[in-house]
């Protein structure tokens, strides 16, 4: 077909006209075209390196193999430290100043992902989920205790889990309502929290008969049973009269998952030392 | 060949035919390889259909649009594998219709959240996310604990899943109604359920054993996510050979 040329530039036009406007039919820039052709050639070559064709092995690995190698490489870079942690006892790791930074940064990042949603940022604790920054422990605060709590959990589905159960004194009709109220006043008196003196006196006997086996004669708690101390001002489930009554009536029981299947041994060791250093490891 | 542009562009039939040919080549290049491989789904032990309660939980997950903020696919990158666990396998979502892989992560990936938290935490978090995670921007779903779970349509739902290829067998269908209730009953007999659906989390899921709520179902579903495959028994080479 006849091509029309623009008078001013001498370039070909597309031959269309809209309201007197015409479009120049300039060629695409050369550099742009060449890049396009080069990418077409590259894609053909690339398809042989990462073959989409079954049965043809490529030069490049699958992403799944690459991720395994990436992780192995990263582990290799840390291998000196990781190997020392693997071989050392918890106490040795705790005492080794040259491992401190490594254990702290490793421990804190695993903690933020896995533990903080329950124990609060930095282990500060939320109601029902104990603070790990203080020196009060339900299940013991030695390195070994902390390690076992993390590895096997509390009331988890692991066969080695820590386990105990407070009797449901109200629900199971062991104590009647006024007895529960009296003993709760006595519990509050252990930590000098506001209470009714007379009720607390009546509660003392009930406490000695029903509660002291687990919570101790003076309410000091028992970390073999995970029974919290009742003579301090730290409460897992709250320290108002109503909250104490509710716990005696129909107790709550904290559940923490076991971690030894989700996290490897070295990581759990690092976490144990990290938690121990947070505040009050024994 | 560029000289013929005008001719092609002005000849509608010819252009349509050429477009069709071009697109077909593109399509065939993508599709033919899939016919030549045995399967794109890894052969692994452990993946089973969802128990009736988990399946209902999944329905609620979809109804509430949890996927708009949560993906369920751990990609094979180091940062993801180190954070969330083993990369996801196609096999792990082969009974998901539709799958929940997603690409939007306002919240974390949930592909392996099963067993990471206790039932109590899941319930507390769904009722009031900021009560447990102060900086959370997840909306509260407290109404789920109030709403009784609709159960009368469970057989229809099993049938619908069977129709799209989920291998529920006869005993699974027969026991569907019982299984639905017994999974959230702390005093129930769970042997049959666990034989049909190994690793299902049983017991009082939502903290209210007296009735079956939507919360029970959602927690049952969240607690099984990512736990079916036992990776200790899976050969790495087989997974890595999949393209």
| Structure confidence by residue, pLDDT tens digits, B165-223 | 999 999 999 999 999 999 999 999 999 999 999 999 999 999 999 999 999 999 999 99
Q: Are residues B24 and B94 in the same domain?
A: no
Placement of tokens 């804190």 in the chain:
A108
Q: Domain A68-160+256-279: give its CATH code.
A: 1.10.760.10
Identify the pLDDT of residue A238.
92
Q: Are residues B13 and B123 in the same domain?
A: no
Q: Are residues B11 and B107 in the same domain?
A: no
B138-161 as b/e: b if 16+ CB within 10 A: beebeebbeeebebeebeebbeeb
Cross-chain residue pair B78–A70, CB shorter than 8 Å:
yes
Tokens of A158: 């692991």
Phi and psi at residue B74, to the nearest 5° = -90, 115
Report, as an integer, the average pLDDT of A102-109. Answer: 94
List the single residue in B with minimal CA-CA distance to A117.
B133
Q: Are residues B143 and B217 in the same domain?
A: yes
Q: Establish if B45 belongs to a structural domain.
A: no
Q: Are residues B13 and B87 in the same domain?
A: no
Cross-chain residue pair B118–A256, CB shorter than 8 Å:
yes
How many Cβ pairs closer than 8 A exist between chain A and B? 70
Q: Is the pLDDT of residue B29 over 60?
A: yes
Report, as an integer, the average pLDDT of A84-94. Answer: 94
Phi and psi at residue B11, to the nearest 5° = -115, 95
Q: Are residues B25 and B80 in the same domain?
A: no
Q: Establish if B224 belongs to a structural domain.
A: yes
- CA B6 distance to own-chain centroid: 51
- Chain B, residues 85-104, CB within 8 A of chain A, namely 85, 87
**Residue A113 contacts B where some CB pair is shorter than 8 Å:** yes
Q: Are residues B165 and B122 in the same domain?
A: yes
Cross-chain residue pair A64–B239, CB shorter than 8 Å:
yes
**For the CA atoms of A272, A274, A279, A280, what is the dihedral angle to 10 degrees?**
30
| Distance in Å, alpha carbon of B74 to nearest chain A alpha carbon | 12
Q: Is the pLDDT of residue B153 over 60?
A: yes
Label residue A171 exposed, middle or buried (CB < 10 Å: 0-12, 13-18, 19+).
exposed
Rounded CA-CA distance B216/B206 in Å is: 5
Candidate from B76, B115, B119 with C-beta closest to A64 = B76
- Looking at the structure of chain B, the number of domains it has is 2
Cross-chain residue pair B6–A118, CB shorter than 8 Å:
no
CATH number at residue B183: 1.10.760.10
Candidate from B6, B33, B87 with C-beta closest to A54 = B33
Q: What is the mean pLDDT of chain A?
A: 91
Q: Closest by alpha carbon to A228, among A204, A209, A248?
A: A248
Q: Closest by alpha carbon to B112, among B21, B1, B222?
A: B222
On whether ipTM exceeds 0.85, the answer is: no
Which residues does chain A have within 8 Å of residue B242's beta carbon, measured at their own beta carbons? 62, 64
Tens of pLDDT, residue by residue over B109-151, are 999 999 999 999 999 999 999 999 999 999 999 999 999 999 9
Range(s) within chain A of domains with CATH label 1.10.760.10: 68-160+256-279, 177-249
Which residues does chain A have within 8 Å of residue B133's beta carbon, measured at their own beta carbons? 116-117
Q: Is the pLDDT of residue A1 over 60?
A: no
Q: Establish if B44 belongs to a structural domain.
A: no
Three-class SS of residue A89?
A: coil
Rounded CA-CA distance A90/A269 in Å is: 7
**Residue A126 contacts B where some CB pair is shorter than 8 Å:** yes
Q: Are residues B78 and B153 in the same domain?
A: yes
| Distance in Å, alpha carbon of B60 to nearest chain A alpha carbon | 23
Interface test with B, best of A64, A119, A121, A131 (most B CBs within 10 A): A64
Q: Within 13 Å of residue A165, how many CA atoms lie on the same side as its CB?
A: 6
**Residue B8 contacts A where some CB pair is shorter than 8 Å:** no
Q: What angle do CA B16, B19, B21 make, to 5 degrees?
A: 110
Contact A60, A50 (CB under 8 A): yes
Rounded CA-CA distance B178/B175 in Å is: 5
- CA B112 distance to own-chain centroid: 11
Q: Are residues B30 and B90 in the same domain?
A: no
- Chain A, residues 162-201, CB within 8 A of chain B, namely none
Three-class SS of residue A129?
A: strand
Contact A134, A221 (CB under 8 A): no
| Candidate CATH numbers 1.10.287.70, 2.40.160.40, 1.10.760.10, 1.10.4030.10; the one for domain A177-249 | 1.10.760.10
CA distances from B103 to A113, A242, B82, B83, B100 (A): 20, 46, 19, 17, 9
**Residue A105 contacts B where some CB pair is shorter than 8 Å:** no
pLDDT confidence of A52, banded at 50, 70, 90? low
| Distance in Å, alpha carbon of B102 to nearest chain A alpha carbon | 19
Which residues does chain B have within 8 Å of residue A70's beta carbon, measured at their own beta carbons? 77-78
| Distance in Å, alpha carbon of B118 to nearest chain A alpha carbon | 6
List the single residue in A with minimal CA-CA distance to B223.
A257
| Distance in Å, alpha carbon of B76 to nearest chain A alpha carbon | 6
What share of chain A in percent tops pLDDT 90? 76
Identify the pLDDT of residue B81.
95
Q: Within 13 Å of residue A131, how many CA atoms lie on the same side as its CB?
A: 12
Cross-chain residue pair A1–B78, CB shorter than 8 Å:
no
Which residues does chain B have within 8 Å of residue A55's beta carbon, measured at their own beta carbons? 36
**Domain carrying residue B23:** 5-36
Report, as an integer, the average pLDDT of A176-180. Answer: 96
Q: Are residues B122 and B203 in the same domain?
A: yes
**Residue B133 contacts A where some CB pair is shorter than 8 Å:** yes
Identify the pLDDT of residue B152.
96
Four-residue CA torsion sign, A67, A72, A73, A78: positive
Q: Are residues B96 and B150 in the same domain?
A: yes
Cross-chain residue pair A52–B33, CB shorter than 8 Å:
yes
Q: Establish if B202 belongs to a structural domain.
A: yes
Rounded CA-CA distance A28/A16 in Å is: 19
Tens of pLDDT, residue by residue over A196-213, are 999 999 999 999 999 999
Which residues does chain A have within 8 Å of residue B107's beta carbon, measured at their own beta carbons? none
HEC secondary structure over B158-178: HHHHHHCCCCCCHHHHHCHHH
Q: Establish if B41 belongs to a structural domain.
A: no
Q: Establish if B47 belongs to a structural domain.
A: no
B98 cis-preceded (ω within 30 degrees of 0): yes
Identify the pLDDT of residue A185.
96
Tens of pLDDT, residue by residue over A225-253, are 999 999 998 999 999 999 999 999 999 99
| Distance in Å, alpha carbon of A12 to nearest chain B alpha carbon | 13
Which residues does chain A have within 8 Å of residue B37's beta carbon, measured at their own beta carbons? 54
Cross-chain residue pair A62–B37, CB shorter than 8 Å:
no
Q: Are residues B73 and B144 in the same domain?
A: yes
């Amino acid at each position: 077909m006849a091509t029309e040329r623009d008078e001013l530039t001498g370039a070909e036009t597309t031959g269309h006209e809209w309201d007197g406007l015409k479009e120049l039919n300039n060629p695409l820039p050369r550099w742009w075209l060449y890049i396009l052709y080069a990418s077409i050639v590259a894609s053909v070559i690339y398809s042989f390196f990462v073959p989409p064709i079954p049965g043809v092995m490529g030069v490049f690995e699958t992403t799944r193999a690459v991720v395994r190698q990436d992780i192995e490489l990263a582990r290799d870079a840390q291998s000196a430290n990781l190997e020392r942690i693997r071989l050392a006892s918890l106490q040795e790791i705790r005492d080794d100043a040259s491992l401190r930074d490594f254990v702290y940064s490793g421990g804190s990042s695993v903690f933020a992902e896995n533990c903080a949603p329950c124990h609060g940022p930095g282990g500060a604790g939320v109601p029902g989920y104990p603070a790990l920054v203080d020196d009060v422990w339900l299940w013991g605060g030695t390195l070994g205790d902390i390690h076992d709590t993390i590895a096997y959990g509390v009331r988890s589905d692991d066969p080695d889990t820590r386990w105990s159960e407070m009797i449901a004194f109200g629900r199971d009709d062991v104590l009647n309502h006024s007895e529960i109220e009296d003993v709760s006043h006595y519990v509050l008196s252990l930590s000098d929290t506001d209470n009714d003196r007379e009720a607390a006196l009546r509660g003392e006997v009930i406490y000695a008969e029903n509660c002291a086996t687990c919570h101790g004669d003076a309410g000091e708690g028992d970390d073999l049973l995970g029974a919290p101390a009742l003579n301090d001002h730290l409460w897992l489930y709250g320290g108002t009269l109503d909250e104490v009554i509710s716990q005696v009536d129909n107790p709550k029981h904290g559940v923490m998952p076991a971690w030894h299947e989700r996290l490897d041994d070295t990581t759990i060791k690092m976490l144990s030392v990290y938690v121990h250093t947070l505040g009050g490891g024994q | 060949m560029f000289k013929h542009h005008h001719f092609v562009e002005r000849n509608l039939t010819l252009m349509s035919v050429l477009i069709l040919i071009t697109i077909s080549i593109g399509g065939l290049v993508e599709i033919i390889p899939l016919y030549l491989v045995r399967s794109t789904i890894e052969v692994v032990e452990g993946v089973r259909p969802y128990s009736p309660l988990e399946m209902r939980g999944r329905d609620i997950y979809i109804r509430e649009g949890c996927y708009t903020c949560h993906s369920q696919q751990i990609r094979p990158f180091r940062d993801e594998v180190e954070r969330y666990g083993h990369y996801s396998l196609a096999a792990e979502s082969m009974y998901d219709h539709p799958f929940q892989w997603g690409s939007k992560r306002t919240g974390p990936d949930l592909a392996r959240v099963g067993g990471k938290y206790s039932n109590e935490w899941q319930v507390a978090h769904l009722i009031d996310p900021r009560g447990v995670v102060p900086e959370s921007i997840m909306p509260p779903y407290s109404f789920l604990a109030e709403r009784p779970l609709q159960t009368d349509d469970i057989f229809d739902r099993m049938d619908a899943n069977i129709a799209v290829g989920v291998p529920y067998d006869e005993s699974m269908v027969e026991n569907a109604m019982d299984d639905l209730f017994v999974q959230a009953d702390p005093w129930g007999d769970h042997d049959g359920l666990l034989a049909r659906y190994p690793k299902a989390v049983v017991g009082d899921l939502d903290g209210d054993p007296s009735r079956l709520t939507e919360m029970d179902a959602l927690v049952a579903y969240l607690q099984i996510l990512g736990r079916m495959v036992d990776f200790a028994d899976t050969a790495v080479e087989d997974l890595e050979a999949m393209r």
